Structure 1
Amino acid sequence: MRGRTVRLSAARRLVGDLMRFSIGIPRVTVQRQMNLRALVDARSACDPRPSWTVLFLKGYALLSKETPDLRRAYIKFPKHQLYEYPESVASVAHEREHEGERIVLLSTIKGPEQRPIPELEKLIQEARSRPIAEIKEFRRSLKLARAPAFLRWSLMWLGLNLGRKRARYFGTFQLSVYSGLGAESLNPLTPLTTLLNYGPIDADGTVTVRIHYDHRVMDGASIARALERFERILNGGVVDEVRGLKQAGKPAGISIAGRAP
């Protein structure tokens, strides 16, 4: 059959370049079945409810704060070594509409473990709703994707292998999920040390959570222990913060006489 050729858009070239640097990483996946009933109940009591993306982002950032391995990267310049960052930089994948095409762009959030949930929610919503041309990271990525291949690949290699630059441009971990669409990715790729994703969350709080990690940086047993700790953080510190949101948003009581008690 005679078909038609479709020109690669800048966004598709960007994804292709990221896969070019991801495919050679010895990536392994560890998953854990979690029960997040406490977090489900705390979230349900909020109005508005914080998104699951933000809750998992905050929990993973808190996990990374106490787990140095999750803040390390394998770099190749000036020699092969591990580089550890003092704080996390989250890389979050967003599906956006651009020039008649649905594309994926990445935004970064520095120090998510230090930011309150409402601030993280605001940053995520801005990345999902503001015009692409108004977001510096998106403009920069699409501009790079329009450059000649040799220049794109050279700049990306340097960005991924210069320790001080890597977190700024790419982040220390990535969060990418489709659970809102009722689906989950079993083998996502990323050039970063870890990628966090999770499946649909049942009404009773049951959910499958996965960490896809660079085996050059850490081992599976460490990730298994990290997932166990992650579940406790989500049902502990994150639940406490969510309950605090409910209390902060609760209006003052009114007495029969019409005055606040």
Structure 2
Amino acid sequence: MVFDLMHASMGVPFVSLSRPLQIRPLLEARASAKVPAGWAAIFVKAFALVARDEPILRTLYAKWPWPTFYELPKSVAMVAIARVVDGEECVVAQRIAGPDALPLAEIDALIRHAKEAPLRDVPMVRKMMLAMRLPLPLRRLAWLIGLNFGRQRASFFGSYSVTSVAAYGGGELHAITPGPFILSYGVAEPDQTINVVLRWDHRITDAAPIARVLTRLEQALNTEIAAELRGSRQAAEPKPIRAVAT
């Protein structure tokens, strides 16, 4: 799978922008949540919230039947998940459609399911393993079809990817996929910042809109996402019972 993925990614002209985001309100809200969502779920939803108002983040470049840009009606996330299977480390993907409309708890549950459930119970893994059993010429044909028809591309590869090594100590990760957008994040620092790297297909947009996207991402983390985390805490707390005199 990794060999095929790297082969499909070779021709994508990626550019990257890295920036520390100030996330004090988010950290405070997450610390007070009874069951805080994982960082992957937080970034999956935050990026989709930004993409809801930024059509460029829902745009794909497809080559068939002729080179064109294809704008999706909603975002589709692909999350890279590290796990161990039969003593071997591997990476699997979890597809999450329309994450901007899903509760954080549901996004987090989907990611945890892909990380912990038996592989046969993860639909995306089953689809992936079925494709990997094909002979090389048929696999390459399947990848070409999946990558170059706009409507199918989001189904197979999503409109953006989220990956990180923060669980293993952080670091600035410049991942490679067929694109068009790849978001990676580090660990929360003592100064209440978190470093984010956004890589994108330069055929779709240039750096100026992406700089604006990172500013909007910081806002989404500290407003919509923080508010949802605070709301989940309040929902988990039992309401006081008021005594009524008779």
The TM-score with structure 1 as length reference comes to 0.90
Q: 1:252·1:260 contact (CA, 8 Å) conserved in 2?
A: no
The CA deviation at 1:99 is 3.6
| 2:69 equivalent among 65, 82, 89 | 82
TM norm structure 2: 0.95
Distance change in 2, residues 1:81/1:111 (3 Å): same
Matched, 1:126 2:113: yes
Question: Cα RMSD between the aligned structures?
Answer: 1.5
Q: Per-residue displacement from partner, 1:34-64 (whole Å, max 9, x unpaired)?
A: 1101000000001112111111111111011
- The equivalences for 1:41-60 within 5 A come to 41-60=28-47
Q: Does the aligned pair in 1 maintain the 2:174–2:197 contact within 8 Å?
A: no
Q: Which residue identity lines up with residue 113 of structure 1 in the other structure?
A: D
Matched, 1:180 2:167: yes
1:147 paired residue number: 134
Q: Does 1:195 align with 2:182?
A: yes
Is this contact kept in 1: 2:6–2:176, CA < 8 A? yes
Higher CA-based Rg: 1
Q: What amino acid is the match of 1:176?
A: T
2:219 counterpart residue number: 232
- Equivalence for 1:91: 78
Q: Cα deviations across residues 151-203 of structure 1 (Å, max 9, x unaligned)?
A: 10110110010111111111110000111111234321010210001111114
Q: What count of residue pairs does the alignment treat as equivalent?
A: 245
Runs of 4+ in 1 over 3 A off after TM superposition: none
Return the alpha-carbon distance in structure 1 between the equivalents of residues 114 and 219 of structure 2. Answer: 29
CA distance in 2 between partners of 1:184 and 1:131 (Å): 29
SS state at 1:197 partner:
strand
Segments of structure 2 that go 5 or more residues without pairing to the other structure are: none
Contact persistence 1:42–1:243 (CA under 8 A): yes
Specify which of 149, 152, 173 is matched with residue 165 of structure 1.
Answer: 152
* 1:32 matched to 2:19: yes
Structure 1 segment 18-29 matched on structure 2, within 5 A: 18-29=5-16
**Identity across matched positions, percent:** 36
Q: 1:199-210 maps to which residues of 2 (within 5 A)?
A: 199-210=186-197
Q: Could you report, residue by residue, the CA deviation over 1:124-149 in whole angstroms, capped at 9, with x for unpaired residues?
A: 11111110011121012112112211
Amino acid at match of 2:101: Q
Specify the alignment match of 2:143 in structure 1.
Answer: 156
Kindly state the Cα deviation for residue 100 of structure 1 after the two structures are TM-superposed: 3.2
Spell out, residue by residue over 1:4-49, the C-alpha distance to the aligned partner (whole angstroms, 9 max, x if none): xxxxxxxxxx011011111211000011111101000000001112
**Amino acid across the alignment from 2:175:** P
Q: Which runs of 5+ in 1 are unaligned?
A: 1-13
Letter of the 1:21 partner, please give it: A
**Is contact 1:54–1:120 with CA below 8 Å preserved after alignment?**
yes
Which residue in 2 is equivalent to 1:3? none
Q: Could you tell me how far apart the structure 1 residues matched to 2:217 and 2:125 are?
A: 30
Give 2:56's match in structure 1, choosing from 69, 77, 94. Answer: 69
Displacement after TM superposition at 1:260 (Å): 8.9
